[in-house]
Chains A and B, each alone.
Chain A
Amino acid sequence: MLAAAILTVALVVQDQAPLRASPQDAAPRQATLWQGEWLEVRGERQGFLQVYDHRRERPGYIRQQQVRVYPLDETSVPQLQAVVDFLRDTPGAEALGIGYTAALLRAANSSQVGPELFDAMGTLAERLAKRASSRKSNDEALAAHLDVASSYGVKLLTIEQEGRTRLCYDGEAFRRVLGLGGSPEARLRAALALTRPECIDPALLQVERQALDEWRAAVLEQVDTAQLPAWQANRLHLRRAEVYAALAYQWARRGEAQRGARASERSVEELARVLKSELAEEDRSAYAVAAVRVAASRWASVPAPEQPGSSPGLELTQGKPGETCLRLVDAKTPGTSLAAHCTYGLVWPSSIRRSPQGTVVTVAVQLLEGWTELWVFHQEGDGWLLDALSPATMDPGVGYVELAGFTPDGSRVLVAREALVEGKVKSSFQVLKRETLLPEKTAERPDDSGTFKRWSTADWRSRTLAVR
Chain B
Amino acid sequence: MNIQNIQEKLSEVLKQSVFLARTAGAAVVSRVRWFAFTPKGRRIATGLALAGTVFMVASSPPITLVEPGQLGIRMNLVTGNASELREGWALLVPQVHRLHLYSLKDQVYRPERSIHANGPAPFQSAEGLSIGIEVTLRYALDPARISALATSMPEDVGQEIVEPVIDGVLRRHFAQHTVREIFATQRREIQKAITDEITPMLAKDGVILRSVTLGNVDLPQQYRTGVESLLAEELSAEKMRYTLELKEKQIKETALHAEADKVRREKAAEASAAEEIIAAKARAEAMRHILPFKEKEIEQRRLEAEAAKVSRLTQASAEADARRIEAEGEADARRKLAESDAYRLEVTGKASSEQLARESELITKNPLLIQKTLADKLSDKIQVIIAPPQAGGFIAGNLLGQAAPSPRHANTMGSNRSGARHSNSSEYGSESGDGSEDAQSQEE
Interface residues of chain A, those whose CB is within 8 Å of chain B, are 205-207, 253-254, 321-323, 343-345, 367-368, 371, 373, 388, 390, 393-396
Whether A207 and B275, one on each chain, are in contact in the complex, defined by CB atoms closer than 8 angstroms, is yes
Closest 9 CB pairs of A and B: A322-B278, A396-B286, A344-B281, A393-B293, A367-B286, A388-B289, A344-B282, A367-B282, A207-B272
Q: Which residues of B contact A254 (CB under 8 A)?
A: 275
Q: How far is the CB of A82 from chain B (nearest CB, A)?
A: 51
Q: Which residues of B contact A367 (CB under 8 A)?
A: 282-283, 285-286
> Bound state CA distance, A118 and B115, in angstroms?
80
Other CB < 8 Å A-B pairs besides A322-B275, A344-B282, A393-B297, 9 of them?
A205-B276, A207-B275, A253-B275, A345-B286, A367-B286, A368-B282, A368-B286, A373-B286, A393-B294
Q: How far is the CB of B298 from chain A (nearest CB, A)?
A: 10
Known contacts A393-B293, A393-B294: A322-B274 contact under CB 8 Å? yes
The residues in B between 254 and 294 inclusive whose CB is less than 8 angstroms from any CB of A are 271-272, 274-279, 281-283, 285-287, 289-290, 293-294
Total number of A-B contacts with CB less than 8 angstroms?
60
Known contacts A206-B272, A206-B276, A206-B279: A343-B285 contact under CB 8 Å? yes
A393 contact from B271, B278, B279, B290, Cβ within 8 A: B290
Whether B278 and A371, one on each chain, are in contact in the complex, defined by CB atoms closer than 8 angstroms, is no
Whether A344 and B274, one on each chain, are in contact in the complex, defined by CB atoms closer than 8 angstroms, is no
Task: Give the total of B residues in contact with A, Cβ under 8 Å.
Answer: 19
Q: How far is the CB of A252 from chain B (nearest CB, A)?
A: 13
Whether B272 and A373, one on each chain, are in contact in the complex, defined by CB atoms closer than 8 angstroms, is no
Q: Which residues of A contact B276 (CB under 8 A)?
A: 205-207
User: Which of B272, B281, B286 counts the most chain A CB atoms within 10 A?
Assistant: B286
Q: Which residues of B contact A253 (CB under 8 A)?
A: 275, 278-279
Chain B residue at minimum C-beta to C-beta distance from A393: B293
Q: How far is the CB of A364 from chain B (nearest CB, A)?
A: 13
Q: Which residues of B contact A373 (CB under 8 A)?
A: 286, 289
Q: Which residues of B contact A388 (CB under 8 A)?
A: 289
A-B contact pairs, 26 of them (CB 8 A): A206-B275, A206-B279, A207-B272, A207-B276, A253-B278, A254-B275, A321-B278, A322-B274, A322-B275, A322-B277, A323-B278, A344-B281, A345-B282, A345-B285, A345-B286, A367-B282, A367-B285, A368-B279, A373-B286, A390-B289, A393-B297, A395-B287, A395-B290, A396-B286, A396-B287, A396-B290
> Bound state CA distance, A321 and B287, in angstroms?
21
Q: How far is the CB of B128 from chain A (nearest CB, A)?
A: 74
Q: How far is the CB of A132 from chain B (nearest CB, A)?
A: 31
Whether B290 and A394, one on each chain, are in contact in the complex, defined by CB atoms closer than 8 angstroms, is yes
> Bound state CA distance, A368 and B283, in angstroms?
6
Chain B residue at minimum C-beta to C-beta distance from A371: B286
Whether B274 and A390, one on each chain, are in contact in the complex, defined by CB atoms closer than 8 angstroms, is no
> Bound state CA distance, A367 and B271, in angstroms?
19
Chain B residue at minimum C-beta to C-beta distance from A321: B274
Q: Which residues of B contact A345 (CB under 8 A)?
A: 282, 285-286
> Bound state CA distance, A175 and B283, in angstroms?
34
Q: How far is the CB of B286 from chain A (nearest CB, A)?
A: 4
